[in-house]
Amino acid sequence: MRDDLRTTTVKRRSVVAGALGIAATGGSGLLSGCGSGTAETGADPESLAQPPAELAPVTTGVNYPPGYVGPKARRRTAIVSEPVTFTVVVPQSLTVGDWSKNEFTRWMEQQTGIRIRWRQVAGKGDDAETMTKVNAMIAAGDVPDAFLGITFTRSQLYLYGTQNLFLDLTPYLDRYAPNLREAMKDYPEAGKLMVSPDKGTYSFPDINDCYHCRASNGRALLNAEWVREVGLAMPTTTDEFREVLTAFEKADVAGGGKTIPFGGYKDAPLDTYFMNAFLYNPGEPWLVVDDGKVRANYVRDEWREGLKYLHGLYADGLLAKDIFTANEDQIKRYGDNPGGPILGGARVYYWGTLMTLDLVDPKARWHQYETMEPLKGPAGVQVAPWDYLNVGLEVSTLVVTRKCARPDLLVRWADYQLDLEVVLRSYAGPGFRWSAKGDKGINGRQSIYGYDSWNTDETKGKTWDQYGVMYRSGDFRLAERVNPRQPTFESPLYEQTRDHLFPYRQPMEQQFPPVTLEADQAALDAEIGLNLKTEVTTSLAKFVTGRLDPSDDAQWNDYLDRIQRIGLQPYLEIQQAAYETYQG
Amino acid sequence: MTVATATPAAPTGTPAPVRETRSDRIVMICNYTALGLFTLAVLYPLVYVASASLSDPKNVVSGEVWLWPVGWSVEAFTAIFDYDSIVSGFSNSIVYAAGGALLATALTLLAAYPLSRRGLPGKGLIMALFVFTMMFSGGLIPTYLVVDRLGLLNTRWAIILPAALAVWNMIITRTFFQTTIPEELAEAAKVDGCSDVGFFWRIVLPLSKPIIAVNLLFYAVAQWNSWFNALIYLTSEHLFPLQLVLRQILIQNNFDPSQVRDTAELIRMKELQEQLKFSLIVIATIPPLLIYPFVQKHFVKGAMVGSLKG
């Protein structure tokens, strides 16, 4: 997971670096040139003089499961009596359609009295092109009141925040965001994740606590039916796993010599599953915190042991030949093989990557594949890497700029969207229904809501997709009603994550948190980080496929040398400093 | 290919064809093989895209489609019309391509003609200024500022005006005028009492159809394929050209696979992409394909005359 997450980060960072370069050579003059214009606007003193907003009483008629933590439906009132208009930049989305004609837009306007003049930017909000456009706007001083769904990195937020372009929302959140304050009580880490090193909060965050995403990196599937067929049990150690794959290979379960004991594809790194039998490994950028010290996994002896194990599996033909090169279409072709399964198992994120899902037939092929528990290595290490910090709170959902005269109203507008019913409308459209007592949700407990279709032609132009400000707690997400006649994979995904992965998670202190870097560090971090990533991933593939031998001391030392030359030391120093700033 | 040359050989008097030499034949075979392979390389993707757009998306994903449609379905084409942004994008693209091509061609002709005449004072300097802009440009942000201050941001003009003259096309056009409209013709017209404007309108333009066609095609295709200006200058969906919408569909699926926050969305986007990708490419290719045969006969002539004899 981090793999792709980081690549985009790197790209984004290089865009920032690009923008910075422009700023340094002439853009800064432009910025200050237009600055006179921005200075005249700024927040109206009235903004902080309004009476603080209080948490409204909960409405009745909604069935919450006992002990529920998450958004609640509360009494809502209009924010302003006279319509006020703000200019907001949003990304383009096929699901949302034209933002100004969208149904949820109309509903929000009618309910809150706040009108939005949308400026729609092509792109998804987190790709390089969106950022090109946004950077052009910022550099040209053509700044809106706010950005919604444009993913600035933490470092960008901090940079533009300290340049006084993005507004520090701290005083506004204190006074006008009762729902957010409530949510932050549910998520104690939120406070730390929201603030920049200078203690400013430069965006209104979004909470989307996706339970199974926290464990994606440690997920691998194994064909449980095959395991039974060869007369073994689901493996729990590295040795047992090898035994199971060997048995698949020997018995040629698929028949006709077609058996592929274990497959994978290039977007799902192998190390995030297998290395965790040797040391806690969250995956790219392979940083962990060991007693307050940031360390890199890929230079440790345990990593080498892991490489030897994988090297052995590959040499024995137990891993697919194309495990490092197959793309998603290819792995799906194996998974969908007509005439019966040919894959014994695979390192994928969930069943849908492996095959086309038949959600109606209870005997559909995907039910054969079960989430493996993490394997216990020779030294007794057995970890399912759990993402406590990157999943859950997202910064940069709504970013208010200096241009905005009444930030208090925009903050209240965002806070309004954290209400349970508004979340549902924003995300699922007006067609959702409250669940009756006794309806079961994804986690098997009382469900709160349900809908017939989500993100289909039915809801096109009626929702804000996932771009709105929302509070989706773990309990909220799992309280979605499951249609007994057409159960999705959500329940098994949840259950297997809960039973097979969650119990083996590492302590939170070991996870390297999402840190904020100063502009010059960000550039350095992007550069060295990218080179390290290339070196580590290509060497991993070479060590596993046998082009390099992990047991050979000379080759291993060569590898360590290359890593040092790329600049592991300065890289770790940057991360250590950033980590300490994060810890405060 | 047999080339018959009359050679008196047999006593009967009937000319017998000269046999090709061995080496000629080898060259011929190589030629045809190479050209054939090249044609295949160009043709195959076209056929594949057309077939894929007419197949059931499932068969496309599973790799069953490789030449002809499998599981005939026109659903992908009907689905397109459910998306307002695709329909409006298509009509916008036509407006940008047609409007852009007409305006740009007019400007190109107006700039190229005077520069092709010998008597224009300061011709060297003007030409140098034009060429200068080919090498150096203000860059993204200054251009953005200019467009912003002219009040063009988020209007159709922002797409048409900044791309309204390509210096390269202007140079080709100028060379065309220099080589096909001799100075003597202008003098003769002047003697007969024709003004400069009259000469340009009544004599130069009718003689320049090939170059006009070439310019129209160049500009129209460039506008049709461009998306960057639209990305930078437009912020209202009803103004977006087709290419931006197409791009949106193609990138929308680039999710981080581990962040399967909403697996249902992932699946849905994947299906949508598979369904619309190919039909959209077909739709986006049709207009240039339709125009091309009509301009083609001028095309080679115009472009070659302009470039070769410079």
Mean pLDDT of A560-569: 95
| Spatial separation of the C-alpha atoms in residues A147 and B61, rounded to whole Å | 37
- Clarify whether residues A18 and A134 are in a common domain: yes
Chain B residue with minimum CA distance to A1: B258
The distance of B59 to chain A (nearest Cα, Å) reads: 11
Neighbours of A66 (CB within 10 A): 6
**Number of domains chain A is built from:** 2
Domain presence at residue A537: yes
Contact (CB<8Å) B267/A352: yes
Tell me which of A109-118, A255-264, A287-296, A354-363 is least confident: A354-363
Question: Closest Cα to residue A120, out of B279, B269, B237, B127?
Answer: B237
Which among A98, A390, A481, A491 is the top mutation candidate for probing chain B, defined by the most B β-carbons within 10 Å of its own β-carbon? A98
The DSSP output letter for B68 is S
- Clarify whether residues B98 and B27 are in a common domain: no
pLDDT surpassing 60 at residue B25 = yes
Tell me which of A539-548, B1-10, B154-163, B177-186 is least confident: B1-10
Which among A8, A88, A92 is the top mutation candidate for probing chain B, defined by the most B β-carbons within 10 Å of its own β-carbon? A92
pLDDT surpassing 60 at residue B310 = no
Contact (CB<8Å) B260/A139: no
Sequential DSSP letters for A376-422: B-TT----B---SSSSEEEEEEEEEBTT-S-HHHHHHHHHHTTSHHH
The distance of A527 to chain B (nearest Cα, Å) reads: 21
Q: Give the model confidence (pLDDT) of A483-523 as tens digits.
A: 887 788 888 999 999 999 999 999 999 999 999 998 888 88
Residues facing residue A482 across a β-bridge:
none
Chain B residue with minimum CA distance to A139: B141
Q: Which residues of B are less than 8 Å from A2 in CB distance?
A: 258
- Clarify whether residues A534 and A405 are in a common domain: no
Question: Closest Cα to residue A61, out of A501, A433, A422, A318?
Answer: A433
- Residue B52 one-letter amino acid: A
* pLDDT value at residue A16: 41
Locate A21 and state its tokens: 């370069």
| Spatial separation of the C-alpha atoms in residues A469 and A392, rounded to whole Å | 13
Q: CATH number, domain at A192?
A: 3.40.190.10
Domain presence at residue A574: yes
Contact (CB<8Å) A455/B249: no
Radius of gyration, CA atoms only, chain B: 27
Contact (CB<8Å) B259/A127: no
- Clarify whether residues B118 and B242 are in a common domain: yes
The distance of B196 to chain A (nearest Cα, Å) reads: 44
Mean pLDDT of A422-451: 92
Domain presence at residue A30: yes
Contact (CB<8Å) A456/B262: no
Q: Give the model confidence (pLDDT) of A442-481 as tens digits.
A: 999 999 999 876 666 677 889 998 899 999 999 999 999 9
- Clarify whether residues A537 and A419 are in a common domain: no
Q: Which residues of B are less than 8 Å from A332 in CB distance?
A: 61-62
| Spatial separation of the C-alpha atoms in residues A545 and A323, rounded to whole Å | 10
- Clarify whether residues A421 and A568 are in a common domain: no
* pLDDT value at residue A278: 96
Kind and range of the H or E run holding A148: strand A146-148
- Clarify whether residues B81 and B66 are in a common domain: no
pTM of the model: 0.83
Q: Are A501 and A219 in contact (CB under 8 A)?
A: yes
- Clarify whether residues A85 and A191 are in a common domain: yes
Domain presence at residue A536: yes
3-state DSSP assignment of residue A114: strand
Contact (CB<8Å) B232/A132: yes
Which among A1, A130, A133 is the top mutation candidate for probing chain B, defined by the most B β-carbons within 10 Å of its own β-carbon? A133
Indicate the average pLDDT of chain A.
88
Q: Which residues of A are less than 8 Å from B63 in CB distance?
A: 329, 333
- Clarify whether residues B171 and B292 are in a common domain: yes
The model's confidence at residue A20, banded by pLDDT at 50, 70 and 90, is: very low
Contact (CB<8Å) A122/B144: no
The distance of B285 to chain A (nearest Cα, Å) reads: 21
Q: Give the model confidence (pLDDT) of A140-179 as tens digits.
A: 888 999 999 999 999 999 999 999 999 999 999 999 999 9
Domain span at residue B34 reads: 22-73
Kindly list the distances between the CA atom of residue A566 and the CA atoms of A5, A531, A572, in Å, as whole numbers in the listed order: 22, 7, 12
* pLDDT value at residue A4: 37
* pLDDT value at residue A221: 95
Q: Which residues of A are less than 8 Å from B235 in CB distance?
A: 89, 118-121
- Clarify whether residues A414 and A527 are in a common domain: no
Contact (CB<8Å) A8/B154: no
Residue A285: cis peptide before it, omega within 30 degrees of 0: yes
- Clarify whether residues B46 and B136 are in a common domain: no
Contact (CB<8Å) B141/A121: no
Residues facing residue A345 across a β-bridge:
A222
3-state DSSP assignment of residue A449: strand
Q: Which residues of A are less than 8 Å from B244 in CB distance?
A: 92, 122
Domain boundary residue among A377, A407, A425? Answer: A425
Neighbours of B5 (CB within 10 A): 7
How are beta strands A221-223 and A114-121 bridged, if at all? unpaired
Domain presence at residue B256: yes
Indicate the average pLDDT of chain B.
82
**Number of domains chain B is built from:** 2
* pLDDT value at residue B5: 47
pLDDT surpassing 60 at residue A1 = no
- Clarify whether residues B112 and B255 are in a common domain: yes
* pLDDT value at residue B102: 95
Chain A residue with minimum CA distance to B82: A457
Q: CATH number, domain at B284?
A: 1.10.3720.10
Mean pLDDT of A366-389: 94
Of A30, A122, A332, the CB nearest to B231: A122
Which among A6, A20, A349 is the top mutation candidate for probing chain B, defined by the most B β-carbons within 10 Å of its own β-carbon? A349
Buried-exposed string A510-535: b where 16+ CB fall within 10 A, e elsewhere: bbbbbbbbbbebbbbbbbbbbbbbeb
The model's confidence at residue B265, banded by pLDDT at 50, 70 and 90, is: low
The distance of A331 to chain B (nearest Cα, Å) reads: 10
Q: Which residues of A are less than 8 Å from B240 in CB distance?
A: 92, 122
The distance of A132 to chain B (nearest Cα, Å) reads: 8
**% of residues, chain B, pLDDT over 90:** 33
Contact (CB<8Å) B63/A329: yes
HEC string of A157-221 equals HHHHHHCCCECCCHHHHHHHCHHHHHHHHHCCCHHHHHCCCCCCCCCEEEEECCCHHHHHHHCCE
| Spatial separation of the C-alpha atoms in residues A153 and A501, rounded to whole Å | 29
Which among A333, A353, A455, A497 is the top mutation candidate for probing chain B, defined by the most B β-carbons within 10 Å of its own β-carbon? A455
- Clarify whether residues A418 and A523 are in a common domain: no
Q: Are A427 and A464 in contact (CB under 8 A)?
A: yes
Contact (CB<8Å) A267/B248: no
Of A98, A100, A216, the CB nearest to B258: A216
Domain presence at residue A307: no
Domain presence at residue A17: yes
- Clarify whether residues B67 and B99 are in a common domain: no
Domain span at residue A188 reads: 2-35+80-210+394-425
| Spatial separation of the C-alpha atoms in residues B261 and A191, rounded to whole Å | 22
* pLDDT value at residue A179: 95
* pLDDT value at residue B267: 65
Chain B residue with minimum CA distance to A332: B62
pLDDT surpassing 50 at residue B17 = yes
Contact (CB<8Å) B237/A4: no
How are beta strands A204-208 and A392-400 bridged, if at all? antiparallel
- Clarify whether residues B174 and B60 are in a common domain: no
Mean pLDDT of A21-25: 37
Of A140, A336, A454, the CB nearest to B62: A336
Kindly list the distances between the CA atom of residue A119 and the CA atoms of A146, A149, A204, A427, A568, in Å, as whole numbers in the listed order: 10, 12, 19, 20, 43
Q: Give the model confidence (pLDDT) of A325-375 as tens digits.
A: 998 888 988 998 888 899 999 999 889 888 888 877 888 899 999 999 999
* Separation of first and last alpha carbons in chain A: 27
- Clarify whether residues A399 and A530 are in a common domain: no
3-state DSSP assignment of residue A223: strand
Of A30, A332, A357, the CB nearest to B141: A30
Q: Are A477 and A209 in contact (CB under 8 A)?
A: yes
Mean pLDDT of B37-64: 84
Q: Are A390 and A30 in contact (CB under 8 A)?
A: no
| Spatial separation of the C-alpha atoms in residues A214 and A504, rounded to whole Å | 13
- Clarify whether residues A23 and A135 are in a common domain: yes
The distance of A48 to chain B (nearest Cα, Å) reads: 31
Kindly list the distances between the CA atom of residue A275 and the CA atoms of A186, A300, A544, A552, B18, in Å, as whole numbers in the listed order: 33, 11, 12, 19, 76
Domain presence at residue A572: yes
Contact (CB<8Å) A460/B82: yes
Domain presence at residue B11: no
Dihedral sign for Cα B8, B10, B15, B17, please.
negative
Domain presence at residue B241: yes
Q: Which residues of A are less than 8 Å from B274 in CB distance?
A: none
How are beta strands A471-472 and A146-148 bridged, if at all? unpaired
- Clarify whether residues B88 and B186 are in a common domain: yes
Domain presence at residue A464: no
CA angle B69, B70, B73 (to 5 degrees): 75
Domain boundary residue among A410, A425, A440? Answer: A425
| Spatial separation of the C-alpha atoms in residues A106 and A128, rounded to whole Å | 30
Contact (CB<8Å) B258/A2: yes
* pLDDT value at residue B187: 87
Q: What is the dihedral of CA B267, B270, B274, B275, to 10 degrees?
A: 60
* pLDDT value at residue B277: 80
* pLDDT value at residue A34: 34
Mean pLDDT of A400-422: 95
Instruction: Specify whether the backbone of A471 is left (phi greater than 0), alpha (psi in -120 to 50) or beta.
Output: beta
Q: Which residues of A are less than 8 Å from B84 in CB distance?
A: 97-98, 461
- Clarify whether residues B302 and B202 are in a common domain: yes
pLDDT surpassing 60 at residue A31 = no
Of A129, A137, A352, the CB nearest to B266: A352
Sequential DSSP letters for B212-231: HHHHHHHHHHHHHH--HHHH
C-alpha A88 chain-centroid distance = 24
| Spatial separation of the C-alpha atoms in residues A419 and A476, rounded to whole Å | 12
Q: Are A494 and A463 in contact (CB under 8 A)?
A: no
Which among B235, B267, B268 is the top mutation candidate for probing chain A, defined by the most A β-carbons within 10 Å of its own β-carbon? B235
Domain presence at residue B14: no
- Clarify whether residues B105 and B182 are in a common domain: yes
* Separation of first and last alpha carbons in chain B: 36
Domain presence at residue B299: yes
Residues facing residue A293 across a β-bridge:
A290
| Spatial separation of the C-alpha atoms in residues B170 and B162, rounded to whole Å | 15
Q: Which residues of B are less than 8 Å from A123 in CB distance?
A: 231, 248, 251
Contact (CB<8Å) A350/B263: yes
pLDDT surpassing 50 at residue A24 = no
Which of A123-127, B53-57, B157-161 has the highest mean predicted lDDT (pLDDT)? B157-161
Q: Which residues of A are less than 8 Å from B58 in CB distance?
A: 356
* pLDDT value at residue A27: 35
Chain B residue with minimum CA distance to A330: B62
Contact (CB<8Å) B248/A457: no
pLDDT surpassing 70 at residue B262 = no
Contact (CB<8Å) B260/A132: no
| Spatial separation of the C-alpha atoms in residues A272 and A381, rounded to whole Å | 14
**% of residues, chain A, pLDDT over 70:** 92
* pLDDT value at residue B186: 86
Domain presence at residue B174: yes
Residues facing residue A288 across a β-bridge:
A295, A511
The distance of A128 to chain B (nearest Cα, Å) reads: 11
Q: Give the model confidence (pLDDT) of A202-248 as tens digits.
A: 999 999 999 999 999 999 999 999 999 999 999 999 999 999 999 99
pLDDT surpassing 70 at residue B222 = yes
- Clarify whether residues B69 and B85 are in a common domain: no
The model's confidence at residue B140, banded by pLDDT at 50, 70 and 90, is: confident
The distance of A166 to chain B (nearest Cα, Å) reads: 20
* pLDDT value at residue B266: 64
